[in-house]
Structure 1
Amino acid sequence: MNVLKTLSLVALAGLSGLGYAAAQEPQRVIAHPGVNNARPADARSLKWKVAVGRFSNETQYGKGIFYERDNDPMAKQALDILMTKLNASGKFILLERSDSEKLEAELKAGQGQRIGADYLILGSITEFGRKTTGRDGLFTSEKSQTVEAGVSIRIVDVATGQVIYSEEGKGQAQTTSKSTLGLGGKAGYDATLSDKAISGAIDQLVENIINKCTDKPWRTYLINADADGIIIAGGAAQGIRPGDTFTLYKRGKQVKNPQTGVSFYLAGKPVAQLRVESVDGDTPDTQYAIVSVVSGSFDKGALDNYYVQQ
């Protein structure tokens, strides 16, 4: 009888211990069906305008006697993959600018604002190769196709003309088929491996591209200030809404670093507060916002000396 009583007490103690241990485990919170754990609908951020120049194919792959540089299918493929991934982030308005050489010339000539974007992305395929390997055994055979790709990216800050980010990513894609005693799958030429390898290379760069393009305050510019009103560039597509307020800055003095030879502007000085009254325009390139001056003042005859910042 004493033995049974002792075993019962041990069992109860064990159950109590289990209950205590369970109480100490982290609890998982499950949302109620009517509750949305996602970001609130009105939570938003202003979008940067990013111009993506046409990619170039710097490899010899696919370059025959009738090759046309401006219609390189692999370069277009890389551009489409990059734009798709950047667009999925929801942080940018993407502008395709195919003539990258002309854009770079404008930047070097100090005409960056003509590009109509905050950043310019230039890219090239620097490495591309396809190989097929196989192995035959007594009863089995195996065949593998492998594609390796390297993609290089440069990001240029349009306001300064400086390259703020440059890196190369590499990707690989592979498919394998096996057969035993002549039975099994047989893999022919797999064209999708090119997509996967290039996509893998770009995947290594996308997060850094997003971080580099969003690590400074959102900025836009005055485009008009007269009897017709004060107008800034950007509208609904960039997330600007009536009632938003922004700070107007006067550009700092332009100086040149004697060590690097690079010219740049010193930090700007806030001179006025602006409030958005209405937005208009049909496309991201033509949208604008009409604003009013809440406080402060500025020289309406020298709009190029100012910029608007979040």
Structure 2
Amino acid sequence: MKQKFILRLTSIFVFVFILMGTFITTEAAVKKVAIGTFANGAKSRYGTLACSNLESNIFSGLVQNKNYEVVERAQLDQIFRELGLQNSGVVDSKSAIEIGNLSGADYTLVGKVLTAEVIPFDNILYRGYKGKVAFEMHFVDNKTGLVLYSDVISDTDSQMYSPGVSVNERVLISGAAHNAANKVLEKMNEITPLTGTVLNVDRAEDVVYFDLGYDNGVREGDTYTIYKEGAPLVHPVTGEILGIKETTLGTVKVKDVKSNYSIAEIKKEKSAFKTGDKIKRGE
């Protein structure tokens, strides 16, 4: 009798341990990002406007995406001042690790506006003005200090010529910065995939519904992988939960996006999809 009680108690303990591990890992899947003040490398009023618009658009995009948590601006500004990093547009390995230690952020995004200009264009068929913004971004892992991604992201916005209508330069720069910010967010999502849960599998329509939508950064045509989570991966020495085993079940392609959920066509199904399976961006 006593032996059965001990075995039952042990089973309950193991179950609770796995359950707690799942919750801890799920919580850790939300990545915390520090967004530094972007430097005005263009040295112009357009550059200042572009910096402001890039920061606000990227911040808003991350806040709306449940895959991320953003460090409060006041806290980060204080940290940057202490480290002497204001308006530099770069973060070295040592500073990145310090930012992580002081703010709890997993990643730091910094950068510099290289180009912010409004120029006329005339390609015979169309005349008008084009706003252009080029942004040098650096996405850094605060645990290792390694730069995960570094590149120049650029985009434009245009206004067609109309007699008697003056060019709105601020709108063009803001539009170009908004478009460039979307590219930055897409790149960040590639590096840290968006994850969610399958809500329903419709066999008649050969589609799945899942709990991520436009507000989370899902776009029509995106490919997502459906997978099943298994037991926690526990370090044998430290006991630290490092992650969860994953079994890939197949892939889907998004066909319709709502504000808080999406519908995707089943493309490849190695094992039957079920409600409650996990889903993440990419293949």
Q: Deviations over 1:182-241 (max 9, x none)?
A: xxx52343421111111222222321212213499xxxxxxxxxxxxxxxxxxxxxxxxx
Q: 1:86 to 1:134 in 2, by over 3 A?
A: same
Deviation, 1:75, is 1.7
Q: Name the structure 2 match of 1:132.
A: 120
Matches within 5 A, 1:247-286: 269-271=235-237
Higher Cα radius of gyration: 1
1:151 paired with 2:135, answer yes
1:117 paired with 2:105, answer yes
Q: Name the structure 2 match of 1:86.
A: 62
Compute the TM-score of the two structures, normalised by the length of structure 2. 0.50
More displaced 10-residue stretch of structure 1: 48-57 or 126-135: 126-135
Unmatched tracts of structure 1, length 5 or more: 1-43, 64-68, 137-141, 180-184, 217-244, 250-268, 272-296, 299-305
Q: Give the whole-Å Cα distance in 1 for the aligned partners of 2:231 and 2:105.
A: 19
Compute the TM-score of the two structures, normalised by the length of structure 1. 0.46
Q: Give the whole-Å Cα distance in 2 for the aligned partners of 1:109 and 1:196.
A: 31
Q: Give the whole-Å Cα distance in 2 for the aligned partners of 1:129 and 1:109.
A: 31
1:201 to 180, 186, 195: 180
1:51 paired with 2:30, answer no
Q: Deviations over 1:12-60 (max 9, x none)?
A: xxxxxxxxxxxxxxxxxxxxxxxxxxxxxxxx87311111111111112
Q: Give the whole-Å Cα distance in 2 for the aligned partners of 1:309 and 1:88.
A: 25
**Number of aligned pairs?**
171
| C-alpha contact 1:119 1:213 (8 A) present in aligned 2 | no
Q: Name the structure 1 match of 2:51.
A: 75
Q: Give the whole-Å Cα distance in 2 for the aligned partners of 1:135 and 1:212.
A: 38
Unmatched tracts of structure 2, length 5 or more: 1-25, 86-90, 196-229, 245-283
AA aligned to 2:130 is: T
Q: 1:270 to 1:212 in 2, by over 3 A?
A: farther
Deviation, 1:92, is 0.1
Q: Give the whole-Å Cα distance in 2 for the aligned partners of 1:203 and 1:84.
A: 11
SS in 1 for 2:45: coil
